[in-house]
Amino acid sequence: MYSKTIPTGFPKGFLWGGATAANQVEGAWNVDGKGLTTAEVVKRAADRQKLTMNAVTQESLQAAIADQTETLYPKRRGVDFYHHYKEDIALFAEMGFKAYRLSIAWARIFPKGDEATPNEAGLKFYDDVFAECHKYGIEPVVTISHYEMPLGLTLKQNGWASRATIANFTRYTEVLFKRYKGIVKYWLTFNEINASTWGFMGTGAVDSDLDAAAQTQLRYQALHHEFVASALAVQQCHQIDPAAKIGCMLARMQTYPNTPNPADVRAAQLQDQLNLFFTDVQVRGEYPEYMNRYFADNGVTLQLAPDDEAILKAGKVDYLSFSYYMSTVTSADDNIEKASGNLNMGGKNPYLKASDWGWQIDPVGLRLSLNEFWDRYRVPLFIVENGLGAADQLTADGKVHDEYRIDYLRLHIEQMKEAIKDGVDLMGYTTWGPIDLISASTSEMSKRYGFIYVDQDDDGQGSLKRIRKDSFDWYKKVIASNGEDL
């Protein structure tokens, strides 16, 4: 008789928590020796339909460097976590966080990206942040590069478009692994590595002067350099601190065929492959065959150094982490109705509701993705971003009643539990933006995700006071019950 126990709920030691990125929370962009980052020179443009970062030119970068105006560049001020981290981590601890995912600003450690020695004041800041986490038993989960790099590397060698950036990155990661050995147990190399095929935010490379074919070529080559850099970092991490675990990170886009028409199903399959390609390389250690066909069809010719394939093989990650916000619809027909939102997100799904920014809310899609990842890779999974961006309002009672956020999170956690019962090995869940922060795609403050409201508007006006929203108490209860009391 075949009889096995089905898990009943979240495992013991499950890593509940929240996630932020340096360039969206820290502020203090020119303090203690820090250099400018790519994230701090791009600003929101009027056209919300596309990621404005891609319009960046060498001239606009020069203009941004000369410009000291934080108001125009909200990512330079964040929510001043740099000076509030003790208060913020205490609030995370009050909710019972077991993990806090944060990123290190590369330009705090190497201000221009290529100095011979690291900036001690930058390292010291993260010593203090990690110590503060450990004071409360919170495990830091550290992203090494979250949508930014030292601007110096863009100016000098066009970011990841240049192979030389690999050496700058591995110098940086070596410093991190040595400094934080025994202090940081969980590392991630690149946030949403698939963003490199979308442009500047991922590659740190100016390509606005190129035609579409040349841009595609540049982005896949830049991505290849990131794959190699990531695999080298995995090897370094394993050598320097064998007890630590290091993962990759993908922006997951669960996709559905628009109809059962086989042409639509095939289009959706290709779309899914183009999303899973990144984790195929980082978890399996090699490029999947279907990408050979895709590269040939799209005129991409990758330049590989002789050792690259061996490096990828030797640099397989320990776990797979991903962000999940929404699902998409794919069709063979370009004329289907598109989802309207602030990102290019495929077809409209009539069965789903969308957030105020048009992101189609799909908790069941999370269960599908978890199952697909687990079936495909058999490595532990970690949801390191999920949440609802909303235009929260402070009410007359001085509170934020964000029951819509509670509903969103509850439905997703329920589906995580289903996936665990399906047999998926899920190690943790860090919601995006546990404290309000600057949005990655809009650079606005008013797209809020937090359990903690921050009194600051889109123009940077406000007291920066931290206020607990209704979801704060709810999440506290969820964590205390290990996901049972939803």
- Catalytic annotation, residues: 385
Query: Using CB under 6 A, which residues numbered 37 to 96 contact ligand BGP?
Result: none
What is the smallest separation between the CB atom of 90 and ligand BGP, expressed in angstroms? Answer: 23
**Which residues neighbour 342 within 8 Å (Cβ) at sequence distance 6 or greater?**
48, 49, 357, 358, 441, 442
Helix axes 470-480, 403-422, angle to 10 degrees: 20
Region of 66-74, 287-295, 438-446, 476-484 interacting with ligand BGP (CB under 6 A): 438-446
Neighbours of 466 (CB within 10 A): 18
Q: Rounded to a whole number, what is the largest CA-CA distance in the chain?
A: 73
- State which residue, 96 or 460, has the beta carbon closest to ligand BGP: 460
The answer to whether 447 contacts ligand BGP (rule: CB under 6 A) is yes
Of the candidates 323, 331, 349, 471, which one interacts with ligand BGP according to CB under 6 A?
323
Q: Judged by CB, which is closer to ligand BGP: 19, or 153?
A: 19
Paired with 143 in beta bridges are 103, 188
**Residues counted in the chain:** 486
Phi and psi torsions of 354, nearest 5°: -125, 160
Look at residues 121, 130, 107, 117 and name the one whose alpha carbon lies nearest to residue 182.
Answer: 130
For residue 24, the minimal CB distance to ligand BGP (Å) is 6
The residue among 52 and 217 lying less far from ligand BGP, judged by its C-beta, is 52
Q: Sign of dihedral through CA atoms 257, 258, 260, 262?
A: negative
Q: Which stretch binds ligand BGP (CB under 6 A): 47-55, 65-73, 126-134, 432-440?
A: 432-440
Which position among 151, 440, 445, 478 is part of the footprint of ligand BGP (CB under 6 A)?
440
Q: Which is nearer to ligand BGP, 417 or 469 (CB)?
A: 469
The distance of closest approach from Cβ of residue 440 to ligand BGP in the complex, given in angstroms and rounded to an integer, is 3
430 binds ligand BGP (CB under 6 A): no
Q: How many CA atoms lie within 13 A of 99 on its CB side?
A: 26
Counting residues that bind ligand BGP (by CB under 6 A) gives: 15
Mask for 182-221, x = binds ligand BGP (CB under 6 A): ---------xx-----------------------------
To ligand BGP, the closest distance from the beta carbon of 199 in angstroms equals 13
First-to-last C-alpha distance (Å) of the chain: 36
Please give the structure tokens belonging to residue 59.
């001239």
User: How far is Cα 338 from Cα 1, in angstroms, rounded to an integer?
Assistant: 50
Q: How far, rounded to the nearest angstrom, does the alpha carbon of residue 55 sit from its chain's CA centroid?
A: 21
Judged on CB neighbours under 10 Å (0-12, 13-18, 19+), 269 is: middle
Q: Which helix (H) or strand (E) holds 410?
A: helix 403-422
User: Among 295-303, 304-312, 404-412, 436-444, which window interacts with ligand BGP (CB under 6 A)?
Assistant: 436-444
Site for ligand BGP in 5-34 (CB under 6 A): 21, 24
Task: Please state, in angstroms and rounded to a whole number, the distance separating the CA atoms of residues 396 and 238.
Answer: 53
Among 331, 439, 456, 471, binds ligand BGP (CB under 6 A): 439
DSSP-derived 3-state class of residue 188: strand
Contact flag: residue 441 with ligand BGP (CB under 6 A): yes
Work out how close the CB of 351 gets to ligand BGP at its nearest, in angstroms, rounded to a whole number.
Answer: 23
Measured from the CB of residue 394, what is the shortest distance to ligand BGP in angstroms? 20
Of 120-159, which residues contact ligand BGP (CB under 6 A)?
147
Instruction: Name the nearest CA neighbour of 312 among 323, 302, 298, 301.
Output: 302
- The smaller minimum CB distance to ligand BGP, of residues 196 and 441, is found at 441
Residue whose CB is less far from ligand BGP, 162 or 386:
386
The nearer residue to ligand BGP, 152 or 389, going by C-beta atoms, is 389
Query: Closer CB to ligand BGP, residue 287 or residue 319?
Result: 319
Candidates 381, 481, 392, 482; CA nearest to 435 is 392
DSSP label at residue 35: P
Q: Tell me how far apart the alpha carbons of residues 217 and 161 are, in angstroms, rounded to a whole number.
A: 10
| Footprint on residues 245-284 left by ligand BGP (CB under 6 A) | 251
Mark 369-398 with x for binding to ligand BGP (rule: CB under 6 A) and - for no binding: ----------------x---x---------
Q: How far is the CB of 369 from ligand BGP (least distance, A)?
A: 15
Pull the structure tokens for residue 459: 């123009």
Residues 284 and 377: beta-carbon distance below 8 Å: yes
Nearest approach, Cβ of 213 to ligand BGP (angstroms)?
Answer: 26
Binding site for ligand BGP (CB under 6 A): 21, 24, 147, 191-192, 251, 323, 385, 389, 432, 439-442, 447
